[in-house]
Structure 1
Amino acid sequence: MDSRTRRILIVIGAVAVVAVLAVGLMFSARDSGESDTADADTAENSQARADEESLGLARRDPEDALAIGDVDAPVVLIEYSDYRCPFCGVFSRETMPVLQEKYIDTGKLRFEWRDFPVFGPESVEGSVAARAAGEQGLYWEYHDAVYADAPTNGHLDIDRQKVLAWAEEVGVPDMEKFEADLDDPELRTLVDRDAEEAARLGTTGTPTFFIGRTPMVGAQPLEIFEQYIDAELEKAGVN
């Protein structure tokens, strides 16, 4: 990453502190008085799962094509993201591969993506297209192909020609079905559902992450993700 991009990320991170504090206060108020209710002999793993369940965000659906990692992993990381967001692309290309190798592939972390298309109709088209590829078992291949083409500054242009080109690039076997699924109202409804969930949380920008009770806004450095993931794993009694 060049120095200009790093400076931009630092600014985004600083601005994001306000949003993090706001969301954190919301959850603190909601959960006040609950942290001391566990019995003294409650396992650390139960506390970590209680934190997750109190927010009600993690789905842990074994059929979820937009999730990777063990469905019973002790920790879940959720990302609300947009395919046209340059900082989401930075996370996908630079941070996610490390998290996958270190935490997801070792069974410690489950990652769940949420569509949050904030940059207009093209963002929605990108989300629907990825889900259409997911209908043929290629969601993450498509996801990575889109972000591989995303700029570090500005917003990725998404049109029907590019959508089809990415599908061909990742080897979608039935292009006729893929094109039909691009117009499937059910896939669009699923995108809308994720966006509505983000809105209910007060999320205003991408990427926004949740792990346990902790919200994180912006493409934070890898070390920040490791810090919070390790803290949640410690709660769960996992080294």
Structure 2
Amino acid sequence: MINRRSFLKAGSALAAFPFALGGFSGTSLAQDGAITDQDRILGDPEAPITIIEYASLTCPHCANFHATAYKDLKKNWIDTGKVRFVYRHMPLDQLATVGSVAAESLDDDNRFFGLITYLFQTQDTWARSQNPLEEMKKIALLAGVSNEQFDAALKDRELIDRVINQAREGAAAFNVNSTPSFVINGKLYNNMSYEDFNEVLEDLS
């Protein structure tokens, strides 16, 4: 669980961040949830099965998914070309939104997924720190996001809108209301184990 005192300190440091959790503006993704060129995709883009993950970087259940089921899912289904995996942002708070926006500043999908994965792996460390924003910046730097790029991303309305829109449209298109949520070939599932994934994917194969 995220330390409340640390989170409140982060909120104070982020007071100038131009984002409201209820906001929604700018260029939209497909309203029906269809894959677009704004999506971050891992695996074969022509794979017959599509998994869309909606996640928040401060969600402990999301971190647990990436530490457990995701590894076998990637090895057995994504890396083998059977599944196209799409990551979409569903930030639960301002700090998660900042991390999402920083990740979106990366042009390369592999580096994007590398940063997202590492943020989940180290969630307990940066989320519980006395200054989670600075710890997040250090991790982003390892993924190739310079401090200047990080700060610029938090002022980039297009990147911010992309994150906001993904969350709002996940709710509108698929009724996503918790994290992690997964849309597999158009059907919504919540917080699945690898065994759950394997059963569904085998049925679709």
Interval of TM-score (by shorter of Structure 1 and Structure 2): 0.7 to 0.9
| Mapped contact 2:102–2:145 kept (Cα < 8 A) | no
Paired residues in the alignment total 171
Q: Which residue of 2 aligns with 1:15?
A: none
Q: Which among 166, 170, 190 is matched to residue 217 of structure 1? A: 190
Residues 1:145 and 2:118 aligned together: yes
| Mapped contact 2:33–2:170 kept (Cα < 8 A) | no
Q: Distance in 1 between matches of 2:151 and 2:202?
A: 42
Q: Which amino acid aligns with 1:111?
A: F
Q: Which residue of 1 aligns with 2:91?
A: 117
- The one-character-per-residue Cα deviations of 1:101-131 (angstroms, maximum 9, x if unpaired) are 111111110000110112x211211211221
Q: Which amino acid aligns with 2:193?
A: P
Identity of aligned residues (%): 28
**Change over 3 Å in CA distance of 1:122–1:209 after alignment to 2:** same
Residues 1:127 and 2:103 aligned together: no
**Change over 3 Å in CA distance of 1:129–1:173 after alignment to 2:** closer
Q: Which residue of 2 aligns with 1:177?
A: 149
Q: Which among 72, 75, 81 is matched to residue 49 of structure 2? A: 75
Q: Distance in 2 between matches of 1:162 and 1:128?
A: 15
Which runs of 5 or more residues in structure 2 are unaligned? Answer: 1-30
Q: Distance in 1 between matches of 2:133 and 2:194?
A: 34
Q: Distance in 2 between matches of 1:68 and 1:177?
A: 24
| Mapped contact 1:129–1:163 kept (Cα < 8 A) | no
TM-score of the pair, normalised by structure 1: 0.65
**Change over 3 Å in CA distance of 1:173–1:79 after alignment to 2:** closer
Q: Which amino acid aligns with 2:77?
A: Y
Shift of the alpha carbon at 1:163? 2.4
Higher mean displacement: 155-164 or 88-97: 155-164
Residues 1:105 and 2:79 aligned together: yes
**Change over 3 Å in CA distance of 1:96–1:210 after alignment to 2:** same
Residues 1:59 and 2:35 aligned together: yes
| Mapped contact 1:87–1:206 kept (Cα < 8 A) | yes
TM-score of the pair, normalised by structure 2: 0.75
The structure whose residues are more often helix, as a share, is 1
SS at match of 1:78: strand
Residues 1:198 and 2:163 aligned together: no
Q: Which residue of 2 aligns with 1:86?
A: 60
Q: Which amino acid aligns with 1:177?
A: Q
Structure number with bigger Rg: 1
**Change over 3 Å in CA distance of 1:156–1:209 after alignment to 2:** farther
Which runs of 5 or more residues in structure 1 are unaligned? Answer: 1-54, 234-239
